[in-house]
Amino acid sequence: MWQARGLHKRPACAGAEPRQMRLRSHGQADGHRARPLCGGTPLPMPVPRADLSGEATAATINHSLTLLQRLQELLHNSNSSDSVLRVHTAASDEAKVFHTHQLLLSLQSEVFESLLRNQSVLTLHEPPETAALFEKFIRYLYCGGVSILLHQAIPMHQLASKYRVWGLQRGVADYMKSHLASESSQGHVVSWYHYAVRAGDMALQESCLQFLAWNLSAVLGSAEWGSVSVELLLLLLERSDLVLQSELELFTAVEGWLGRRQPEPAVAERVLRAIRYPMIPPNQLFRLQAQSAVLARHRTAVQDLLFQAFQFHAASPLHFAKYFEVNCSMFVPRNYLAPGWGSPWVITNPARDDRSTSFQTQLGPSSHDAGRRVTWNALFSPRWLPLSLRPVYSDTVPGAVPAARIEDGRPRLVVTPAMSSPDFAGVSFQKTVLVGVRQQGRVLVRHVYSFHQSSDEAPDFLAQAELQKRGSEYLIDNALHLHIIVKPVYHSLIRVRK
């Protein structure tokens, strides 16, 4: 029968015994049942080959939590301790004693590595703020994690910096940058800014400064306004992106700061000269001259600025620009929230439909233009597609349009004047869009987009917002809260000799 199928019958077990014996022994050792082959000689069942791709056999065995728990027990029970830290503070005669392990401290801190190289008992001196957190600090060195509160951020950052624990230092700085909007009884952003200056952390310093500038109205009415340093106050007064109700609100807050701090006359005069008096209506300027004790005390230092402000309000901007330099910061509006400068706009369900609105602003801050208004049209589109991604009609299937994915587009905001007039001569309009978000129960400015008259559209507007997600941080109760501000900016024209 085998020959009929063209197969050659092998001699039974001829020359196969050594191979059979080797396989039989292997199979018995592995516990496999043998099957008859070659005249009844048993051979082992084939062993399944391992899946070399790793798709079905790979597994992760993770006992890291157990390891962390044992490390905590090691610290708590002082098992196998080979070093001792004695932490003294000037506020107490007693020292906190920590029985530690040189290896773990040296792995995390190059300072401890150096100090413990030739000694096993360290005496450390810490101020009360950092001494109170030293146990948390040591626990981080053992377990790589720590929980802190707002008032603990600075002392924990100080410990991390002093002992050169760079991971903890970066982690605390990131915590501070992400909790600028958190509520605290006395405020914390001003103190964090001052600390960032002392610590030389430029990124934290800039984050604090930007938050203060974009939410200045909230800061002016808080307890921390009185703790603002002269340097920080001057930095804020130089900025044109301050968000507040009006320049008068800023002057009132500065007046209160000067009254409490009582700085040297040179400092007070420098602060007062940073106020943009042309942005204050003349009737309010008259009242300030008559009632402000600060202006009365430093009248000679700011008299020229007040006189120039009254001239600005009395003349047309075109005429004024012939005689005075108007391209300086004194004539640049800040981001004022008062109605004459813009309008709030709440867009419900911003991921669904296009929206439009109209509003009016004053032609300029000059009282000469007090009765003139400019009407603006604003268009919001949730899914604007750039030219490269816009649908194109197909030549093969008439009328066929490729479907555009929502994630391919980005929100679009266009602000255009509804009128054109020769009154615009010498004036351009800088448009600013504030985006409010809710953080820690408060509505604060999180993003600011600015664009000039040469462009009617805000570049990269909410490019990363993901408005289709109900939990988006850019939304408040599923609505997008915007505030559009239009700031007239004057340009010098023909200069006339005075």
β-bridge partners, 481: 346, 436
In the predicted structure, residue 420 carries a pLDDT above the cut 80: no
Same domain assignment for residues 343 and 319:
no
The predicted pLDDT at position 41 comes to 44
Same domain assignment for residues 153 and 34:
no
Same domain assignment for residues 365 and 415:
yes
The reply to whether 66 falls in a domain is: no
Which range marks the domain in which residue 367 is found?
336-390+406-490
The reply to whether 431 falls in a domain is: yes
Q: What percent of the chain has pLDDT over 90?
A: 49
The reply to whether 10 falls in a domain is: no
Over residues 212-221, the pLDDT tens digits come to: 999 999 899 8
Residues 6+ apart with CB under 8 A from 249: 217, 220
Categorize the per-residue pLDDT at 16 as very low, low, confident or very high, splitting at 50, 70 and 90.
very low
The reply to whether 398 falls in a domain is: no
Give the whole-angstrom CA distance, residue 114 versus residue 111.
5
* Helix and strand element counts for the chain (H, E): 18, 14
- Number of domains forming the structure of the chain: 3
Residues 6+ apart with CB under 8 A from 354: 379, 380, 381, 382
The reply to whether 50 falls in a domain is: no
**Domain of residue 196, CATH code:** 3.30.710.10
The reply to whether 5 falls in a domain is: no
Helix (H) or strand (E) holding 197: helix 189-199
Same domain assignment for residues 321 and 343:
no
Where a domain ends, among 301, 331, 361? 331
CA distances in angstroms from 451 to 393, 415, 433, 454, 461, listed in the order given: 33, 10, 9, 8, 11
What mean pLDDT, rounded, does the chain reach?
Answer: 81
Same domain assignment for residues 326 and 342:
no
Same domain assignment for residues 267 and 174:
yes
Same domain assignment for residues 229 and 363:
no
The predicted pLDDT at position 384 comes to 62
The predicted pLDDT at position 46 comes to 54
The predicted pLDDT at position 397 comes to 46
Same domain assignment for residues 414 and 321:
no
- Whole-model pTM: value is 0.78
Same domain assignment for residues 283 and 358:
no
CA distances in angstroms from 169 to 85, 189, 202, 445, listed in the order given: 21, 18, 14, 27
Where a domain ends, among 287, 310, 331? 331
Categorize the per-residue pLDDT at 3 as very low, low, confident or very high, splitting at 50, 70 and 90.
very low
Same domain assignment for residues 327 and 378:
no
The reply to whether 67 falls in a domain is: no
The arithmetic mean of pLDDT across residues 415-429, rounded, is 75
Where a domain ends, among 296, 331, 366? 331
The reply to whether 233 falls in a domain is: yes
Give the whole-angstrom CA distance, residue 330 versus residue 325.
10
**Domain of residue 470, CATH code:** 2.60.210
Same domain assignment for residues 79 and 217:
yes
Same domain assignment for residues 340 and 253:
no
Nearest in space to 42 (alpha carbons), one of 20, 57, 62: 20
Over residues 349-381, the pLDDT tens digits come to: 888 888 999 999 988 888 888 788 899 999 998
